[in-house]
Chains A and B, each alone.
Chain A
Amino acid sequence: MTLSLDLCLYLCAAVFSIGVYGVLSRQNIIVILMSLELMLNGVNLAIISFGRYFITPEGSALSGTGASSSQIFVIIVLAIAAAEAAVGLAILLAVYRRWRSARVSDMRLLKG
């Protein structure tokens, strides 16, 4: 049994779509932030899969940069995900303190 690149990418697409479903269908801000993490993880896995393909003998001809570039990319995505979660949860705390609600549909101050 072999593991091909497109199989990995289908998995990543599925995980990303599940995250999109969570963001669109939920009202609780905490769960929406969790779904965002799900989407970021799907993308990370795609980057890692491409990086793995580019260090195989067949794929290394296509790779222009160093073999560790994909890993660096994922590390930076990870750091940004951490920053996003921290700021998102801080906003949630501030909003909850003001309006006593964690539902996104209760936040319509900017609605025209």
Chain B
Amino acid sequence: MDALVFLISGILMIASGLLVVTRKNPVYSAILLVVFFLLTSLNFLVLRSPFLAVIQVLVYGGAIMVLFVFVLMLLNLTEEELDEKVEPARKLLAGAGSVLLFALLAWAIHSSERIQAAGDTDLTGPVNDSAARAGETREIGQSLFSEHILPFEFTSILIFIAIIGAIYLTKTRSANERRTTEPAVEQPEERA
């Protein structure tokens, strides 16, 4: 039953992923990306990661998608700007490249002895006794703040730097300040 859920949501994941990269209008891509994230979180649930399934919905389906849709609405691209004018040759080349990449990855998976040795193991089956609580919030919290405290702190520094960078990049200087600091530089026209 679990395996069937995984299989169906996997097929739907591939379908929605393909639609995300092929839709002309980015708004449709964004909505389909939310569907993709929800299906991924379903697969996380099947693979015994309830905490990550919730985080996936909250962070990806919530925070990151809000960011994407907000920028989409802010830019308000016109029909003409949305027309990407990609020549068919480039699309064909990209398609061939990604199919080649998939074939390479599939060949690597197929020829790996260790992965094939694991082929009989059912990932929806029972777990080892010592790891019965793995994936639960309590276990993850304890592991994150004891064993993996250093990566955690580095990640917090990285996010701090990203926040500063994002604010600096999007900051608009006031017209008054601009006039006094860089009078010779050609001004980009103001947005209507």
Contact = CB atoms under 8 A, between A and B. Distances in A.
A52 B45 CA distance: 11
Contacts of B152: 76
Contacts of B151: 72, 76
Interface string B55-92: 11001100110011001101101000110111000110
A91 B191 CA distance: 17
B63 A82 contact: yes
Nearest to B105: A13
Interface residues of B, number: 101
Contact of A87 (B59, B77, B126, B169): B169
A71 B17 contact: no
Interface string A1-32: 11111111111011111111110111110110
B188 interface: yes
Nearest to A65: B147
A86 B160 CA distance: 11
A110 interface: no
Task: Label chain A's interface by main secondary structure.
Answer: helix
A49 B123 contact: yes
A107 interface: no
Interface residues of A, number: 81
Contacts of B94: 21, 24-25
Query: Which of A44, A51, A71 has most chain B Cβ within 10 Å?
Result: A71
Contacts of B180: none
Interface of A: 1-11, 13-22, 24-28, 30-31, 33-35, 37-38, 41, 44-45, 48-49, 51-60, 62, 65-69, 71-72, 74-76, 78-87, 89-94, 96-98, 101-103
Q: Which 7 A-B pairs have the closest CB atoms?
A: A22-B21, A67-B134, A24-B94, A83-B162, A25-B94, A13-B105, A67-B131
15 contacts: A3-B124, A6-B109, A13-B102, A17-B105, A37-B60, A48-B47, A55-B127, A71-B143, A75-B52, A81-B64, A83-B158, A83-B159, A97-B172, A97-B191, A103-B84
